[in-house]
Amino acid sequence: MSTVVLVPAAGRGERLGHGVPKALVPVRGVALLVHAVRGLLSAGRVRHVVVAAPPAEVSATSALLTAHGLVAEVVPGGADRTASVRLAFEHALRVHPDVRTVLVHDAARAFTPPSVVNAVVAAVESGSPAVIPVLPVADTVKRVDAHDVVQDTPDRAALRVVQTPQGFDVATLRRAYAEAGDSATDDAGLVEKIGVPVLTIPGHPRAMKVTTPFDLAIAEAVLAEGAP
């Protein structure tokens, strides 16, 4: 069975503020995207990786991955994350028509343990059409109105923080992207809109998303010897 991972990496990284696309920002001297693709390929259950890069950086991104001995296909990304995933998915369907399982993984979650990647693939291959790694919510969460006044306190026992890679049976993701429109902050959100159940499995703190300079400092520490 063929598994393809789509890696949206075409964002500008504005909150990180490095002046280069976030996927190219180094952690311990190596670009986030290189860490991310290396982790995916080392998981063992991933056959192909398709990266959506900033359109001006496609050949540089391809050369970077090749220089690190990583085999991946690089396509130009789009104006937002959903557009980038859509473009990578269209490429994957064209070039790998035998694909059965599709994972979508943010380049910014570059340190996701391979065990999480494999667990997502295994859950899809066992028959779940959509699978997402999640963590429990540690903080109390409030819902606020437009004036920052608290409206209510959802029961956090029923809440989860969502990570990637998110895994899908190819037909489910194809239908979600064809029918659900573009208004979701993750791919599982599109699948929910077409009424398909989404299974959660345990995520991992290392699958954190690097968004801010603080996250980058944590990522540097995570890569240090002996980090949990």
Give me 211's structure tokens.
């968004």
Work out which of 5, 8, 11, 86 binds Mg ion, going by CB under 5 A: 11
Query: Taking the complex as a whole, how short is the minimal distance between the CB of residue 196 and Mg ion, in angstroms?
Result: 26
For ligand CTP, the closer of residues 128 and 180 by Cβ is 180
Q: How far is the CB of 3 from ligand CTP (least distance, A)?
A: 19
Residue showing the smallest CB distance to ligand CTP in the complex: 11
Q: Is the dihedral of CA 175, 179, 181, 184 positive or negative?
A: negative
**What residue 167 binds from ligand CTP, Mg ion, none (CB within 5 to 8 A, per partner kind)?**
none
Tell me the C-alpha distance between 55 and 86, whole Å. Answer: 14
Which residues are near ligand CTP by CB under 6 A? 8-16, 22-23, 52, 77-81, 84, 106-108, 209, 211
Structure tokens at 97: 């028509």
Taking Cα atoms as reference points, which of 226, 228, 216, 171 lies closest to residue 28?
Answer: 216
| Nearest CB to ligand CTP, comparing residues 79 and 149 | 79
Dihedrals φ, ψ of 44, to 5°?
95, -30
DSSP element (H, E) containing 168: strand 166-169
From the list Mg ion, ligand CTP, none, pick the one residue 155 interacts with, judged by a Cβ distance below 5 to 8 Å according to partner type: none
Locate tokens 């995933």: which residue?
A: 85
8 is an interface residue for Mg ion by CB under 5 A = no
Which tokens go with 150? 């608290």
Q: What's the closest the beta carbon of residue 23 comes to Mg ion, in angstroms? A: 12
Cβ-based nearer residue to ligand CTP, 81 or 96: 81
Residue located via tokens 């296909």? 73
Rounded Cα–Cα distance for residues 116 and 120 (Å): 6
Q: Closer to Mg ion by CB, 11 or 77: give it.
A: 11
Of 38, 119, 27, 110, the closest CA to residue 72 belongs to: 38
With contacts defined by CB under 5 A, name the span among 5-13, 68-76, 160-168, 215-223 that binds Mg ion. Answer: 5-13
Nearer residue to Mg ion within complex by CB, 43 or 51: 51
Residues that bind Mg ion (CB under 5 A): 11
